[in-house]
Structure formats: C-alpha cells, structure tokens
Amino acid sequence: MHPAASVILFTTASGVGYGILSLAPLLVAFGILPDEDRWLGGALMLPALGLVTVGLLSSTFHLGHPERAWRALSQWKSSWLSREGVMAILSYPPTLAYTYAWVSLGSVDGPWVWAGFATVLTALGMMFTTGMIYRSLKPVPAWATDWTVTGYLTLGPLTGLAVIIAIASGFGLHPVRFQAVAIVFVLAAAIAKNAYWARLQAAWDDHAQNAGAAIASPGNTVRSIEWPHTEANYVLKEMGYGVARKHAEKLRRITRNLLLVAPAIVFCLLPSLLPLPYLIWAVIPGAVLTLAGVAIERWLFFAEAKHVVSLYYGVE
Amino acid sequence: MTCLPDETTRKLGLVIDLDTCVGCQACVTNCKEWNTGGHMAPLTDTNPYGAEADGVWFNRVHSYEVTTPEGSSRSLHFPRSCLHCEDAACVTVCPTGASYKRTSDGIVLVDEGKCIGCKLCSWACPYGAREYDVFEGVMKKCTLCVDRIYNENLDQEDRVPACVLTCPTGARHYGDLNDPQSDVSRLVRKRGGRDLMQEMGYKPTNQYLPQREKTNVASSVNQSPALAPLDDTYGASGLLGWVDRMLERMD
C-alpha cells in the first residue's frame, strides 16, 4: 500500500498525542504525576492537544476535497473512518476541561476526575477506531487481524509515555517513577508488533496461492502476460507500492531497535542505574529514538502490506 | 446512508464469458467513450499522448497464461470492472455517504458531490474497480451504464451497458441475476458461473463463465505440413522432381 506522507504524519503525531492523553490522567490519578504542578500540566497537555490537532488537520491534506471533510462525520453507522472522526470531536471537550483544571486550577479533584476519565476513554477510542479502519480491510490480508488494533493501542501509549517521561524529567521527576508502566507498555508493544509480523507472510500466501480464483480459474497456475495499460495507473500507484517491501527485513530490524529495544534500555533499565541529572541526557534522546522508530513503523505498516488487487498484476 | 440494503429488488449485472473473450479491448474503448460523457463524466486522462500516460478507466482487460495442474496451458483474457457486490465493503467504509448501493437494482454508485476523495473505498475493493480522478479530487467507478439502461431516448436494444453493446464476440451479457428465469441466470447455471475471489466474501453480482474444457488437438497439430520447415523443393514433383533428384546426385 502506498504510504501517504500525510497519513504517516497523522498516525505518528496523533498517536503520540492520544498516547499522552490516554496516560496522563491515569498517572495523575495514581499519584505518579503531581497535579499541583500547573507548569508540568501545561507542558504535557498543551503539546498533546497540539499534536492531535496537527495530526487531524494533516489527515485532511490528502483528501481530494478537504472542504467537505465535515461530511465524514455522518456515516458512523457503517464506517470506521467516520467513527474515528466522531471520536476525534468527542475527545476535545473532556480533554480541554481536564487541561483547564490542571493548568488553571492546579487540581483535578472532584468532578474533574470524570473529565480525566473521559479523556482517557476517548483517547483510547481514537486509537481503537484508527486501528479498526485498517483491520476491517479484508483485501489487505496483513492488516485484517486484531494485532493491527493491538498495535495502535500499544504504540500510542508507548510513544506518549516516552514523551511524558522526557518532559517530566525536565521538571525534576525521576524516571524511575514510570519504570513499571514503561515495562508494561514496552512488553505489550513488543508482543503486538512481533505477533503482527509473525503472521504477515502467511496471511498473504493464503490468498496468493490461489491466484487463479481471482480470474475464475481456481486451482490453476496463472502468469500475467499482458497488462491493460503500459504505464502505472491509479490502482498500481495506490496499491502496488514496493520500495519498503524490498527492504522489509532491514526496516523491521531498525524498527525493533528504535521502537522497542531503545525504550527498554532507556525507560526500563537505566532509571534503576543512574541519578536524575545524568538520566535527562538519556531519556530525551530515548524519546527521540522512540518517535523515530514509530515513524518508520507507520511507514512500514503501509509499505509492506500487499493488496490482493496486485494478484491481477502478477505479484506473488 | 452507506449501510447496505438488506436485499435489492433486482440484481442487475454482467456475465462475462472467459471462453469467448478474445481480449480485443473493444469493451474498454466503448466504456471510456460513453462514460467520459456520461453519469460520472469526465473520465480524465493525464498526459494521454506523452510519457507516463494515465487516466480513469472503468474497465481493464488483462491477459494471462493459465496452466492446469496437468500441465496444459492456454491464454485467457480477463476483463476487470466493478462487480456491483451484494456485500460491497467499498460502500460501508465510505465516511460521507457518497458511495451507495441502490435498493431498486443493486447498482453501486458514487455521489460525486459528497465524495471527499479519501480513497478508502478503493482500498476496500479487492478487484481494483475504483479509480481516483486526480483532477476532480473524487473517486470514480463503473455505473453499469445507468444512463443507458434506463435511457428512453435510446432504442430498446441499445439500453444495455456500452461494453455489452460493443463486444464483437458476444462474450458480455447483461441482465437481472436475481431472476432465476433471466437469460443471464440460465447462462450462469449452464456454464457454472463463478464469483471472483469467493474467499473475500463480497458476494459479487457479476459472474464469470470459466473456459470450457480443452480438446486435445496436440497430436494432429504436430503432423501438419504447415509446421514443417519449408525447403526449396516444396511441391516439386514429376519432371521438376526428377531434375531435382538428378542435380542432387551431381558433385
């Protein structure tokens, strides 16, 4: 599948943003983040709001008619893309309320706790609906698995947590406070991504082995001898992307190292070994590496997913 | 609404005979000709006479070599267009309501005025039937010539899709696949019509008739004099044959 730059930007930026929003109120509720520090609240919530807003706007850049984007809110009964749009709108009121309470009041007690609860739920809802858009596409066998959704639900919080730890360390909070949470999300993301990759090839082979079924000749071997067009058309440009597939193994290794190994060392291991002043110089680059890793992962997610229409063009 | 109708009154669609299709591209050409002025007009082309020509087409004909498990092979020409599926995921994924399936006849259409050009419908189609118009910023697709089949300005016999009308070998048939007594339904029963990629579960309306069993003519073909190399004495007999034989003997 062709990886549109705007979609990669959207899933990376909003993934980090909703990751922060899905965790920060919980970390406050469990006393891991202090809500009396208004500046910390601003330093976490405002970038998160900025990232999700930039992400949502960038996702409209690749539309043919961005001015009609409001129409996408109408078909939530059948369309996961529409549900994602509705969820994006729903997430703003509680998130703005919670941000107001933390930054202006310096306290998220009482009814504001419910705003925090709704912030977490809508942020998780965003990651879930985004994942379901891809999960529901049967013609892309790599995506048509629950591991796609699990990937979105774990990578968002993992990258959000990396940013939370980096920012909180700047406010004098020792990263060891987040160590247990970091272990949970690094492990969960590692399971989700490796399970996703483990079935990817077999899922494709299931369809490719019976390419004859695509031209009403099941059981027969099919060799494409002439295309309907001499140049690439829309279908090939959109659904036939091949550059990253060629280097899929290398890119997976880079993704594993940046997205999983780097956070495991920086956020799970180092906090037990180093005092805060030194750790700042580890967690900030650690967060940068994690974000670079997730951007490559999003690119690879599109680029290594094959669409069954490519069977018509002789892709094996 | 992009929810699919529970059932449609009729199921209008095509039956394409892969045994008869010769891959002449006439259906492709007439489809483009009609539809570039029809319901989804225009079918824009990018740089049509230059390098990297591209454009919107509703119908594409591929050619394949198909080999049976026994090792017998032959060519197959395959027209690929919208199958107007019963379970059309291209409709349900549409966030705006631009894509819809008609309850009256099952035709899948796009309301260009509502399309935001997100392209998700084209991802949801296993058959690559939808093509995006980069100039108009909307998705386009086969309309089953909805502007021909109900067109009272045309003669009755012309009220069929342009691809069916033009097919010189009679490989394309059009009718109501919901009516068991229609010509197309009978054809499907008689020839064992097939769903493409049945495992996808889209329940395509259009049916494809597989190639008939191949008659083994290999032995007779091999003996044909036309396949032997032509030498300089071809057809020489009588006096000329004698002269030829004599001259062969000379040093």
Give tens-digit pLDDT for B30-70. Answer: 999 999 999 999 999 999 999 989 999 999 999 999 998 88
pLDDT at site B220: 47
CB contact under 8 A, B1 and A77: yes
* B32 in a structural domain: yes
Instruction: State chain A's mean pLDDT as an integer.
Output: 93
Q: With contacts defined as CB-CB under 8 Å, which chain B residues touch A214?
A: 196-197
Cα-based angle B172, B173, B175 (whole degrees, multiple of 5): 150
Using CB atoms, which residue from B51, B56, B194 is nearest to A216?
Answer: B194
Phi, psi of B143 (to 5 degrees): -105, 5
pLDDT at site B227: 64
Phi, psi of B72 (to 5 degrees): -85, 135
Instruction: List the helix and strand counts (H, then E) for chain A.
Output: 11, 1
pLDDT at site B244: 84
Residue B187 touches chain A, beta carbons under 8 Å: no
Length of chain A: 316
| In the block, residue with structure tokens 């394409």 | B16
Judged against a pLDDT cut of 80, whether residue A66 lies above it is answered with yes
pLDDT at site A246: 76
Distance from C-alpha of A309 to C-alpha of A240, rounded to nearest angstrom: 8
Å from A217 to nearest chain B CA?
A: 7
Annotate A250-272 with b (16+ C-beta within 10 A) or e (fewer): ebbebbbebbbbbbbebbbebbe
Q: Within a 10 A sphere around the Cβ of B102, how many other Cβ atoms?
A: 17
Judged against a pLDDT cut of 60, whether residue B223 lies above it is answered with no
- Mean pLDDT of the region B165-175: 98
* B155 in a structural domain: yes
Judged against a pLDDT cut of 90, whether residue B133 lies above it is answered with yes
Judged against a pLDDT cut of 50, whether residue A250 lies above it is answered with yes
Share of chain A above pLDDT 90, in %: 81
CB contact under 8 A, B114 and A71: yes
Q: What is the pLDDT of residues B97-110, one digit of tens each?
A: 999 999 999 999 99
* B221 in a structural domain: no
Judged against a pLDDT cut of 80, whether residue A241 lies above it is answered with no
- Mean pLDDT of the region A186-213: 94
- Mean pLDDT of the region A67-76: 94
Q: Within a 10 A sphere around the Cβ of B109, how many other Cβ atoms?
A: 20
Distance from C-alpha of B1 to C-alpha of B98, rounded to nearest angstrom: 8
- Higher pLDDT, residue B228 or A138: A138
B33 is in which domain, residue-wise? 12-209
| A93-97, A240-244, B101-105, B182-186: range with lowest mean pLDDT | A240-244
- Mean pLDDT of the region A132-149: 97
pLDDT band at B246 (very low <50, low <70, confident <90, very high): confident
pLDDT at site A276: 84
Judged against a pLDDT cut of 50, whether residue A32 lies above it is answered with yes
Distance from C-alpha of A220 to C-alpha of B69, rounded to nearest angstrom: 6
Alpha carbon separation from B5 to A137, B40, B86, B101, B106 (Å, rounded): 20, 23, 9, 7, 9
Residue B26 touches chain A, beta carbons under 8 Å: no
| A20-24, A93-97, A175-179, A242-246: range with lowest mean pLDDT | A242-246
* B146 in a structural domain: yes
Residue B10 in contact with residue B178, Cβ under 8 Å? yes
- Mean pLDDT of the region A276-295: 94
Which residue in chain A is spatially nearest to B47 when comparing CA positions? A231
Cα-based angle A232, A236, A238 (whole degrees, multiple of 5): 120
CB contact under 8 A, B2 and A81: no
Domain boundaries, chain A: 5-313
pLDDT band at B224 (very low <50, low <70, confident <90, very high): low
Q: With contacts defined as CB-CB under 8 Å, which chain A residues touch B19?
A: none
* B232 in a structural domain: no
CB contact under 8 A, B93 and A74: no
- Mean pLDDT of the region A287-291: 97
HSE toward the beta carbon, residue B134, CA cutoff 13 A: 10
Judged against a pLDDT cut of 60, whether residue B221 lies above it is answered with no
| A6-10, A177-181, B189-193: range with lowest mean pLDDT | A6-10
Could you name the CATH architecture of A5-313? Up-down Bundle (1.20)
Judged against a pLDDT cut of 80, whether residue B251 lies above it is answered with no
Using CB atoms, which residue from A72, A138, A213 is nearest to B116?
Answer: A72
CATH of the domain at B94: 3.30.70.20
Phi, psi of B14 (to 5 degrees): -110, 150
* B102 in a structural domain: yes
- Higher pLDDT, residue B235 or A312: A312
Q: What is the pLDDT of residues A100-126, one digit of tens each?
A: 999 999 989 889 999 999 999 999 999
Enclosing H/E stretch for B88: none
pLDDT at site B226: 64
- Report B:162-181 residues touching A (Cβ under 8 A): none
pLDDT at site B18: 97
* B197 in a structural domain: yes
How many domains are contained in chain B? 1
B155 sits in the region (left: phi over 0; alpha: psi -120 to 50; else beta) called beta
Mutate to test the interface with A, among B116, B119, B194 (most CBs of A within 10 A): B116
- Mean pLDDT of the region A261-275: 94
| A270-274, B30-34, B82-86: range with lowest mean pLDDT | A270-274
pLDDT band at A244 (very low <50, low <70, confident <90, very high): low
Alpha carbon separation from A166 to A294, B161, B196 (Å, rounded): 16, 63, 52
Instruction: List the helix and strand counts (H, then E) for chain B.
Output: 8, 11
Question: What is the interface pTM, i.e. ipTM, of the complex?
Answer: 0.93
pLDDT at site A144: 97
| In the block, residue with structure tokens 């699990």 | A150
Distance from C-alpha of A76 to C-alpha of B95, rounded to nearest angstrom: 7
